[in-house]
Structure 1
Amino acid sequence: MNLIEYADSELMMMDLAHIVAGEINRKLMHSERASLALPGGTTPGPVMDALSATSLDWERVDVMLTDERWVPEDDPRSNARLLRERLLVDKAAKANFIPFWSDAGAPEECVPVAADKVRAAMPLTLVLLGMGEDMHTASLFPGAENLDTALSPNAPPLLALHPPGVPEARVTLTARVINDAMNKHLVIIGDAKREALEKARASGDGHVAPVAAVMRDLTVHWAKE
């Protein structure tokens, strides 16, 4: 794990957007397509804003989420809604978005279709992760049903999980897909998350601290505030 500390979060977001764009552009210089997975939540919003205005050959970029709540895209809790409002506008509107949610049924029934699309984009060019103070990343939550499967090296690309204490099912990239990515980054803000990260690193147990399962070759971007 490589840790980069920043003076403030605004500087961090600008630098991170530049890094993401650079790694995507380098892949496009040598390959027909590149792929990018981004987290939901409020933290990565400024990165999405900066990327949306960046000049890339977006038509050759497959964009997906690291995880999604099983809610329609017009729901305020939808990560896809955030992505469409913050990233898939301006120049990045030409990117190919791979949604996870479907109104065709329960997540377990719909995930295989999206999983095939994720599989076709693997290995992902870049995965940007977030992390909670409970040490979850993507929707790999401690105590979630199917967490063993999600952490397995033989896991499918996508998996439906039912984390304890949350109102809806989640669909998440599995640890195998994250670890197989060409570039892995984690963005966190604040002392509490820094402490959680260090606790996860000391534990090394992906079942207790799921983020520990994806720390190999991970670049962490942290700002105090």
Structure 2
Amino acid sequence: MKMPDLQLPKGVASHLAETQEAVAQTLADHVAECLRLQLAEKPEATLVVSGGSTPLPFFRALREKPLEWARVKVALADERWVPESDPASNVALVKSELLQGAAADARFVLFHYENKDPLDALSELEAAAAELTLPIDVLVLGMGNDGHTASLFPDAPELASAMNPKGERRVMVMTPPSQEHQRVTLTLPVLAQARFKALHLKGEDKIATLARAADVPADWSAMPIRAFLQAGLNVYWSP
């Protein structure tokens, strides 16, 4: 199976399957192996994931892997600033779909505080982000059809600061006008350093978006995913 009409930058690997479940299983195998290797060398490993519907089969496959989950820290790359009871909450999604069974022993690092404006919670958010030992061991990103990843949206006024490779902030509040909710995201310096980076996609529309991004890889302001289209990235895709 070939990825349709797409030339990826040199050093970007593609992992393709005919079904969403098959590609999710491959991704889960690779993530679990990376975490095992890290746990063999150090006390803890860090896994950063993304929300949405695409990663659900991946979450369900990964939670079945025989890992020392109590030694794994799990965090979201970004989150909408909504209560956990809101259907848009990615925290609720990770808790219900990934942190089940043995995986419930993992330490979940949260980037949301109830009954507080995100800008008023910046000190707490930075303290939470500091719990993530850098570099992150495993990062699994998604991508929107506007070329955003995490909550690095093209129309966010905070984008330049969040994408500053020399920036000192680990986490930022994002307010893209295109989105209903305020967002919290890990910044580019945190995400880009990850030892293992995966981009998990589903559907022909996402391949078309990725093709547009790959055509002009330097212009990350228009499509922030371009900042990650570099050697070492692994793209996982199913139709």
TM-score bucket (shorter structure): over 0.9
**2-side partners of 1:134 and 1:115: how far apart?**
28
Is 1:63 paired with 2:78? no
Would the alpha carbon gap of residues 119 and 199 (structure 1) be closer, same or farther in structure 2, given more than 3 Å must change? same
Shift of 1:103: 2.0
The answer for the alignment partner of 2:62 in structure 1 is 51
**2-side partners of 1:31 and 1:104: how far apart?**
37
Indicate the RMSD between aligned Cα atoms, in angstroms.
1.2
Between stretches 120-129 and 91-100, larger displacement belongs to 120-129
The answer for the alignment partner of 2:106 in structure 1 is 95
The answer for the alignment partner of 2:237 in structure 1 is 222
**1-side partners of 2:62 and 2:126: how far apart?**
25
**1-side partners of 2:118 and 2:32: how far apart?**
32
Shift of 1:33: 0.5
Matches within 5 A, 1:1-225: 1-103=12-114, 105-121=116-132, 122-155=134-167, 156-204=169-217, 205-216=219-230, 217-224=232-239
Shift of 1:104: 5.1
8 A contact 1:123–1:181 mirrored in 2: yes
- Extract structure 1 runs of 4+ deviating beyond 6 A: none
**1-side partners of 2:227 and 2:126: how far apart?**
21
TM-score for the superposition, normalised by structure 2: 0.90
Percentage identity across paired residues of the two chains: 35
C-alpha distance after superposition, 1:160-206 (max 9, x if no partner): 00112211100011111111111100011111111111111212211
**1-side partners of 2:146 and 2:119: how far apart?**
25
SS at match of 2:30: helix
C-alpha distance after superposition, 1:34-93 (max 9, x if no partner): 000110101001111112222111111110001100001111110000000001110100
**2-side partners of 1:130 and 1:139: how far apart?**
10
TM-score for the superposition, normalised by structure 1: 0.96
Between stretches 164-173 and 111-120, larger displacement belongs to 111-120
**1-side partners of 2:122 and 2:53: how far apart?**
25
SS at match of 1:120: coil
SS at match of 2:221: coil
**1-side partners of 2:146 and 2:101: how far apart?**
35
